[in-house]
Amino acid sequence: MQYAMSTILGRALPDVRDGLKPVHRRILYAMHGLGLQPESGYRKCARVVGEVLGKFHPHGDVAVYDALVRMAQDFVMAAPLIAGHGNFGSIDADPPAAMRYTESKLAPVARDALLADVAMDTVDFVPNFDGNEQEPVVLPARLPILLLNGATGIAVGMATNIPPHNLGELTDACVALIKDPELPEADLFKIVPAPDFPSGGTIMGLAGARKMYTTSNGSVTLRATTHIESIAQRTRPPRNAVIVTEMPYMVNKAALLEKIAALVNEKKLDGIADLRDESDRDGIRVVIELKRDAVPQVVQNNLYKKTQLQTSFSGNMLAIGADGLQPQRFTLRALLDSFLAFRFKTVRRRTAYELAKVQARDHIVEGMLIALARVEEVIELVRGSKDNATARQHLTNKDFGLSTEQADAVLALRLGRLTKAEEIKLKKEHTDLTKEIKRLLGLMQDDESVRQVMVKELLELKAKHAVPRRSIIKKDEGELNDEDLLANDNSIIVITRSGYIKRMPLEEFQAQRRGTRGKAGAKLSDPGDEVAQFFTCRDHNTVLFVSDRGVAYGLRAFQVPTASRTAKGVPVPQVLPLSADERISSVIPVEEFKDDEYLVLLTKRGWIKKTSLAAFQSLTARGLTIISLEDGDELLWVKTCTEADSIIIGTQQGMAVRFAASADQLRPSGRTSRGVKAMKFKPGDYPVDIDILPGADDQELPDGKSLVAVTVQGYGKRVGADEFKIQRRGGMGVIATKFKTKRGAAQDALCALRVIANGDQLLLSTAQGTIVRQPAATVSEQGRTATGVRVQKLDEGDEIASIAVVHEDFLEGEDADEGAAPTPTAEAVEVA
């Protein structure tokens, strides 16, 4: 325990008063003793180390030199205390040159803020290790150096890790606390919002700093300063690059580049084509060149997540207390209060020292003025004395009344000092000394005067040494979310009837001509399995998975596992907590939960309801009941709409009804309601699809939009929306399509009825998992009673199971595929 306390108090932890460990304090005091002031020349570091070892610090020379080097590194110290000349290391962890090559002297801030008052009895001195020298217990700091430069130290059973701060902010905080000791913490945190690291960087959010300042422990997230540049290539088009200009605090740049290169080689970082360090004496510049298809923001976020381009500084504000006897945890306020209390004592002790000197000088001046007033008598007395002792005795008798010190000063006077002008000068000096004594006595008696002196000196130091904040603060920024690490790409999600799910890039399926067979999009688990749900979305979308039992589950699209075209996928229960007899019946991707949008739900028996979309904003993968179902009924379709839209429902026998989504036709209801009847069905008929048309009137849809009807036998057509007049909900509707083939004894059936635009593309999936992608404009436009044209060639026994619309905005920026069919003109479509 004795050795542990010796380590804690005498080696490993800084003192809250001057913010220094013993080795740093001894180095600075030794340099002060050698006269290595900022105005003087440099001296070999070996000379300084020898002075420290010989007089104050009987330890290894390597430890002393390492401490000296650290105080000279501007990428470690916010305000370096030593000015170095030579190689003092680098941010790449290059070692400094040997002490026989480097030179050093005190930095201005060390002289002004730590050593200016050291010879004025402001602090206690103790004997050194051999008793031949005296060294200060602490230095009379004028700034909270512990916060300014931070500190790290590992003692026995405890450690400290305090980040550096901005000098200007610290002085402002000290001034504010001097003027108002009860300053609210919120106001204090506005003055000192977060650490300020000498290497710059960006502090992500203030929550970690607030916790550290209030509890003494906290983690500050620090991110490198980066930007995106376009790098010109000699023979190729320019490439994007992530440029790093500032590193997080204490991050080894060379090791970081090696780590990035290793991650790229291990395929753990995608999108990086080249990596080079272009740093020079003007600053840091690391170029991370990207591949042509890489999304710069996604690559940048992955670099933050997987490398030290983003780090956390774990603060632990522990230091030796103001009594110098035991370690103590400090909050920001407690640390500043301890420093200010120490500073108050040093100013008071300095005042006492100055007062004693001024009073002593005034005492001498008074004696000299008495002697000058009786100069002839003094001369005669001195001339009549046989020696100095006799003269001193005559001057100190009651005739003159001088003290011994005054008598010695009079005897030391030269004849030239006995002139009238000299007497005038002494009288003026006496007047000035009297004023100074009065001022100093005021400081000794009035605490407020001492505080004013503290404020004045703090502001002077701020004006002389303050620098702008280096670390930028981004408020309300936290950890990177998963979507920050993934591009918002277009994907296809496929769910099979037997309960398998997977996500594939849309680019897997090139556009083909109408009537082609397509390519495999899903490997089915058994011959009787088929594709049940099939849709397009963006990877950042929230996807609402709705089960046939009326339960909705919320999931981000990127959380669905990816798989190849021919893979089976993973069981849905691995992604969503479905019960054994529950299956996904409808899926809808949502980009934004708007207050004026609604979910329209349609069941197998034709019950329909409308519920506000905002009610599902907090939906999670745990699920939420969204409709009450009667026995034997299932929830099969979910769409989004607004009050200004209209709803169209298609049936298996080719009928369709269109009615307004407004409240007078379909009023909003709660999550647990059953809904109302959507339409009247013929015997044996039932709904097979539902879609939303923009606009609640009979006019033609805007932007070249129309309806596409596709049958299970692979026939389809486009129909003008104006052919479906607005009716009242609950009617039987009109014919949407007629059928051209027979399926055994049964007629062909309607599979899907969707709203499309000329620039959209269709994705058709068969029950056996074959998918074809084709431009919507290649499907002929016909009337309601037409049978359509072949849109997909089917294998024997196969049929169309589902279609998905790839909207035009999904296709923006997508590279044209070599196999894609050109979008036909209107004349070509008419001919077809």
Task: Look up residue 625 and give its two tokens.
Answer: 């009941």
Q: How far apart are CA 278 and CA 264, in angstroms?
A: 19
Q: How far is CA 161 from CA 4, 155, 262, 772, in A?
A: 19, 11, 30, 61
Q: Rounded to the nearest 5°, which phi and psi values hold at 156? A: -95, 110
Q: CA dihedral defined by 447, 453, 454, 457, rounded to 10 degrees? A: 180
Task: Look up residue 496 and give its two tokens.
Answer: 């099979």
Q: Is 17:322 a contact under the CB 8 Å cutoff?
A: yes
Q: At what angle do helices 332-373 and 404-411 cross, to 10 degrees?
A: 60
Q: How far apart are CA 802 and CA 714, in angstroms?
A: 11
Q: How far apart are CA 264 and CA 251, in angstroms?
A: 20
The catalytically annotated residue of 3, 65, 101, 500 is 101
Q: How far apart are CA 28 and CA 34, in angstroms?
A: 10
Instruction: Name the nearest CA neighbour of 74 among 254, 222, 249.
Output: 249
Strands 519-520 and 500-505, by their bridges, are unpaired
What kind and span of H or E run contains 686? none
For residue 240, what are the β-bridge partners?
230
Q: Please name the residue that has the structure tokens 């006897």.
A: 325
Task: Look up residue 61 and give its two tokens.
Answer: 């020379």
Task: Look up residue 120 and give its two tokens.
Answer: 């004025």
Instruction: Name the nearest CA neighbour of 711 among 670, 660, 764, 662.
Output: 764
Q: How far is CA 125 from CA 23, 120, 140, 353, 827, in A?
A: 16, 11, 12, 15, 101
Q: Rounded to the nearest 5°, which phi and psi values hold at 827? A: -65, -40
Burial of 389 (0-12, 13-18, 19+ CB in 10 A): exposed
Establish whether 101 is a catalytic residue.
Answer: yes
Would you name the residues annotated as active-site residues?
101
